[in-house]
Structure 1
Amino acid sequence: MRMISVLIADDQMLTREGLRTILDLEDDMEVVGLAKNGLEACEMAEALDPDLLLLDIQMPVMDGIAALKRIKQSRPEITILILTTFMDEDYIVEGMVHGASGYMLKDTDADKMIASIRDTVSGQFILPAAVAAKLAARMNRFVEDHEYWKRTHRERFKLTEREEELAQLIMRGLNNREIADALHIAEGTARNYISSLYGKLEVADRSQAIARLRAII
């Protein structure tokens, strides 16, 4: 049976000791260290190289997110499970971006906690339903904001039928001569159309125009 070495980082002594008591009762788990702040968590993670770190977010000296970033740079092989009572979406997203393997709420019952640790070490991403709901709500707001932005910019940069046709050709990567041929006009006329479109889009060159067109079409 493979032993899972665990480092616990939490600024509350009762939480640290309570978690150690729960985990040390398991035959396949061993608590190798207790840290009371983010800096201690970093130092002990680098020295002890545990399989898994239970890392609180709100801690003195160095918070959990800062500790997460440092540990993932120096010991990327350590699995980190964020241990928190905080449901702030920014913490959720930032933790995921910087390599956390999941989240576990401090009020999780012992059996679920043990199962979550085993699942995390085996490679699964742990996201409790309450945390997932927060993340989903944030993503929904992002989509709504993006759609609103697109609607308002479509109105601001509303294109005529000919400008729409020209925009599609530009986005396909055609040069001025190819655009002129496609529209059956002189190359000079095509250049004038393109220059006029740039002015309407408030851009200076083709790369900027393509970026804006992709955002609004």
Structure 2
Amino acid sequence: MISIIIVDDQRLLREGLQTLLQTEEGLEISALCANGKEALQAVQEHKPDVVLMDIKMSGMDGIDAMKRIKREYPGTVVLMLTTFAENRYIVDAMAGGADGFLLKDMSSRIIVQTIRDAMNGEVILPAPIASKLAAKLSVLSEGRADRFDERKLRESGYSFTVRERKIIELMTEGYTNKQISSSLFMSEGTVRNYISVIYNKVGTNDRIAAVAILSGLLLEDVY
């Protein structure tokens, strides 16, 4: 029997998944949770085989909760529940130890099969997620041309190092300093130092204003 905990801040979704999964032979739902903190408590209490973890939740989000679970209960399979629009979290989740992803609009048959495959040790990456991950890793690799519009850079007079460019790209996608540090395998302090230099170059200490300026230097429709 595969025991499962479902974590999502939308009651309709977590109860819908419960209804779907508890009718399947060999699957049982141990607990339903609305946020990461509840998930940690439930994992401690029930020691489930699998956790289906929403990414974006108030309080402790899914990625932070997943990292804690994988650190304290490394044998627990954690599959991130996501939508196609949340692709910017993919690298952070994979770097943190996630065992794979489930798109929220997947069919019930695929969801059930994905859970069984994950229990057999397979890393689960639906095709749209795998495509986004490949694109993201290509951008983060040192050898690939980045997303900057070189003409706009020349006209603006700005100049950024390779590392600054990668940080800027993540900043413009809404990454926090913590997420940037995880994605680029850097300390948060180092990220803050780089961002301070970037702020100095564009002439503002306001993140929103800086992102607006920097976004205007990027190529359109890269992805």
Bin the TM-score by the shorter chain.
0.5 to 0.7
Aligned residue in 1 for 2:15: 17
Aligned residue runs from structure 1 range 57-206, under 5 A: 57-143=55-141, 146-147=143-144
| Alignment-mate amino acid for residue 116 of structure 2 | R
Cα pair distance change 1:117/1:147, threshold 3 Å: closer
**Alpha-carbon distance in structure 1 between the residues aligned to 2:87 and 2:103:** 14
- Report the more deviating stretch, 90-99 or 25-34: 90-99
Q: Tell me the secondary structure at the aligned position of residue 113 of structure 1.
A: helix
Letter of the 2:46 counterpart = L
- 119-128 or 82-91, which deviates more: 82-91
Q: Is the 8 A contact 2:11 2:34 kept in 1?
A: yes
TM-score normalised to the size of structure 2?
0.62
Q: Secondary structure at the match of 1:77?
A: coil
- Is the Cα–Cα contact under 8 Å of residues 35 and 41 in structure 1 kept in the other structure? yes
* Cα distance, 1:94 vs structure 2: 1.2
Deviant stretches of 4+, over 6 Å: none
Contact 1:87/1:134 (<8 A) preserved: no
Change in CA separation of 1:25 and 1:61 when aligned onto 2, cut-off 3 Å: same
Equivalent position to 2:42, from 44, 53, 60: 44
Show structure 1 runs of 5+ residues with no match: 150-217
Tell me by how many angstroms 1:86 deviates: 4.7
* 1:112-132 Cα deviation digits (max 9, x unpaired): 000000000111010011011
Q: Distance in 1 between matches of 2:87 and 2:14?
A: 25
Q: Give the greater-gyration-radius structure (CA).
A: 1
Higher helix share: 1
Asked if 1 retains the 8 angstrom alpha-carbon contact of 2:91 and 2:136, the reply is no
Equivalence for 1:34 = 32
1:165 alignment counterpart: none
Per the alignment, in what secondary structure is the counterpart of residue 143 of structure 2? helix
